[in-house]
Structure 1
Amino acid sequence: MLKNFTFTKMEKKIQIRRKGFMGRIIPIVLIAVLFSVTFQSCQKDESILNAAPGGQLKSASISTVSQSSSISTVLITNLISKINGYVTKGELQSGIANALVSKLKNVIKSVDKGNEKPAMNQLQAVINQVDGLVGSDTIDTTIGNGIIFDIRALAGENPTYTDPRDGKVYKTIKIGDQIWMAENLAYLPSVNSLILSGTKPYYYVNGYWGTNTADAKATDNYKTYGVLYNWPAAKTASPEGWHLPSDAEWTQLANYLIDNGYGVYKDIYIAKALAATTSWWGSRINATIGYDLSSNNSSGFTALPGGGLLGHALIRPGQAGFWWSATESTASTAWSRTLRYVKATLIRSTQDEYKDKWMGFSVRCIRN
């Protein structure tokens, strides 16, 4: 009995030791397995971020997506409304307006039938007619040149626009059914250092602290990035025939790019399609603006990182760009859009940041 008892006791000790050993080894094995799975998952995530162009995912280089040059019937309809508006205001004879409108409606019919080449010829005929009317002083020069500009723009020619207030020449770009300036607005009637207001218009040049407009215009930041405006100034800064885009118009731009394949990796990653190929800081994160700048700007929008004035602090050029919309959020705030060098999306301002009307942001004008 003693032997049996001793054996049983020893057996229990061995079993206890085995359990202790297994109790220690099982957690170690589980930790190793979990680490292996996590490591493989991390490798997978890293491979997605750093996938080479041409893989199964959408490449960061989307040069195959070209800007559509097709005629926009929406913009033709807008032009017809403008022409009728000139008649209403007594600025254009109804007979001339009716003739132009009739020809433009024929262009719409040609486009709807898929006959784009004849439509282009019809548009050229309208341009020739308006040009002749301007030359004979039958139509106001500003109105005539505006009609010609709109026709060239809606046909996808991306004509330049000269601001009559200061002679500044701007590139333009047709994106979907919108005509945008392809540069930040640089209209600078006055310049302020750090006077802040959400009710009175103020104009700033990033990095310039004086009040002399000539000196401000001589700076590299002005020449490259244009002017920073508080919201009251932004609302009235656009030249005639242009306006500060609404929140809805910014959304329309984003949706067009998303719906037409400009996104990188994901449809909503359209920041690279909007951003310029120069001036942005570099990034190692694929699909972001700063990753391979040469693959940016497939839309032709050419967004530059002009920085911004946020209180008494400046966001330096290179890392971000901020642009106002014309749409108020509250009595003291308005919606804006932001691009950052380490981000892949066009960011709409949140409820509590980048919206205060006294902040200094860039302006991108859109055609009326």
Structure 2
Amino acid sequence: MKTIILLWITTLALCVGCSDNDNELPAIKPGSTGTLTDNDGIEYIWVRYGDLDWMASNYNAGTPYYEQKNSRGQALLRNSDTELVKAYYTTYGNLYTYEEAVANAPAGWRLPTDEDWKKLEQTLGMSTSESNAIGWRGSYEGELMQQKDGINLRLCGSITLGGSGSYLFLRNAGDYGFYWTSTVDESYKKSTAVYFRRIRYNSSQIERDVTTIADESLMGMNNKYMGVRYVRDAK
């Protein structure tokens, strides 16, 4: 018994001595901050990383995604728990189609390109070669992007197609955050496919991948509505 207690105390002492530093993130803070007002009069904070200003909350103007209707006036979203869906909307902001994301940018702002996202990732510490890769990349950049005093990416989920494209489901809110880029993947010839980013609640990485915007899937990815952060060149 004495041997077991001694080993337990020794192990505890070693853990206490080394736990904090191993999980410490680099202190990479915005170089500047300010506010912008969109076309609906909604005010947002922006933060500056390198030579780009990023919105620090999800774009939220226009019709809420849970109020979207088809041509017959029927609700498109088919999640059974409507109150939970509304709570996610309140917490994480609105979601948009690719076309809406491009068209809704406030004056002087734009939907970020794939290269804009790479610049942000590299500013936060990711290598150039890793930022060019597909899939989950980085070591801590995804966690830095979720810090509230930074760009504050939210776990907004995405809306995917169901029923052969006739209705929609909100998925993964609170677990994942999906964000559009404006960059088309020219190698995909069947229809239009664009790059996006994804963060995860329990991951320090960030994913770079491609999804179609037509009513079809590309490698299992067909995110019809995703989160939007607008960007501009720093002034």
| Corresponding residue for residue 122 of structure 2 | 255
Q: In the aligned structure 2, how far is the partner of 1:267 from the partner of 1:61?
A: 15
Alignment RMSD = 3.5
Residues 309 and 361 in structure 1, CA contact (< 8 A), matched pair in contact too: yes
Does residue 365 (structure 1) correspond to residue 230 (structure 2)? The answer is: yes
| Corresponding residue for residue 180 of structure 2 | 324
| Corresponding residue for residue 93 of structure 2 | 226
- TM-score normalized by the length of structure 1: 0.44
Does residue 268 (structure 1) correspond to residue 147 (structure 2)? The answer is: no
Per-residue CA deviations over 1:90-123 (Å, capped at 9, x if unaligned) read: xxxxxxxxxxxxxxxxxxxxxxxxxxxxxxxxxx
Does residue 61 (structure 1) correspond to residue 28 (structure 2)? The answer is: no
Residues 194 and 210 in structure 2, CA contact (< 8 A), matched pair in contact too: no
Q: In the aligned structure 2, how far is the partner of 1:333 from the partner of 1:235?
A: 14
- TM-score normalized by the length of structure 2: 0.67
Paired letter, 1:270: E
| Corresponding residue for residue 5 of structure 2 | none
Residues 274 and 301 in structure 1, CA contact (< 8 A), matched pair in contact too: yes
Residues 28 and 124 in structure 2, CA contact (< 8 A), matched pair in contact too: no
Does residue 160 (structure 1) correspond to residue 26 (structure 2)? The answer is: no
| Corresponding residue for residue 243 of structure 1 | 110
Q: In the aligned structure 2, how far is the partner of 1:61 from the partner of 1:181?
A: 26
Gaps of 5+ in 2: 1-13, 128-136, 163-168, 212-217
Aligned length: 187
| Corresponding residue for residue 158 of structure 2 | 308
Paired letter, 2:42: K
Q: In the aligned structure 2, how far is the partner of 1:334 from the partner of 1:188?
A: 23
Within the candidate set 60, 67, 71, 1:186 is matched to 60
Per-residue CA deviations over 1:210-230 (Å, capped at 9, x if unaligned) read: 9xxxx9xxx433332111111
Per-residue CA deviations over 1:267-299 (Å, capped at 9, x if unaligned) read: 633111011xxxxxxxxxxxxxxxxxxxxx177
Q: In the aligned structure 1, how far is the partner of 2:231 from the partner of 2:30?
A: 18
Q: For the structure 1 residues 367 and 273, does the alpha-carbon distance in structure 2 shift closer, same or farther, using more than 3 Å as the test?
A: same
Larger radius of gyration: 1
State the percentage of identical aligned residues: 24
Higher helix proportion: 1
Does residue 348 (structure 1) correspond to residue 191 (structure 2)? The answer is: no
Output aligned runs, 1:28-47, within 5 Å. Answer: none
Gaps of 5+ in 1: 1-46, 70-155, 197-203, 261-265, 276-296
Higher strand proportion: 2
Residues 258 and 270 in structure 1, CA contact (< 8 A), matched pair in contact too: yes
Within the candidate set 48, 54, 61, 1:174 is matched to 48
| Corresponding residue for residue 339 of structure 1 | 199
Q: How far apart are 1:344 and its partner, in Å?
A: 2.1
Q: How far apart are 1:316 and its partner, in Å?
A: 3.6
Paired letter, 2:232: R
Per-residue CA deviations over 1:126-156 (Å, capped at 9, x if unaligned) read: xxxxxxxxxxxxxxxxxxxxxxxxxxxxxx2
Q: Secondary structure at the match of 2:125?
A: helix
Residues 66 and 299 in structure 1, CA contact (< 8 A), matched pair in contact too: no
Q: How far apart are 1:61 and its partner, in Å?
A: 3.2
Highest RCO, 1 vs 2 (Cα 8 Å, sep ≥ 6): 2
Q: How far apart are 1:180 and its partner, in Å?
A: 0.2
Q: In the aligned structure 1, how far is the partner of 2:80 from the partner of 2:62?
A: 13
Q: How far apart are 1:257 and its partner, in Å?
A: 0.7
Residues 97 and 226 in structure 2, CA contact (< 8 A), matched pair in contact too: yes
Paired letter, 1:178: L
Residues 338 and 346 in structure 1, CA contact (< 8 A), matched pair in contact too: yes
Output aligned runs, 1:271-282, within 5 Å. Answer: 271-275=142-146
Output aligned runs, 1:105-144, within 5 Å. Answer: none
Q: For the structure 1 residues 209 and 257, does the alpha-carbon distance in structure 2 shift closer, same or farther, using more than 3 Å as the test?
A: same
Q: How far apart are 1:193 and its partner, in Å?
A: 3.7
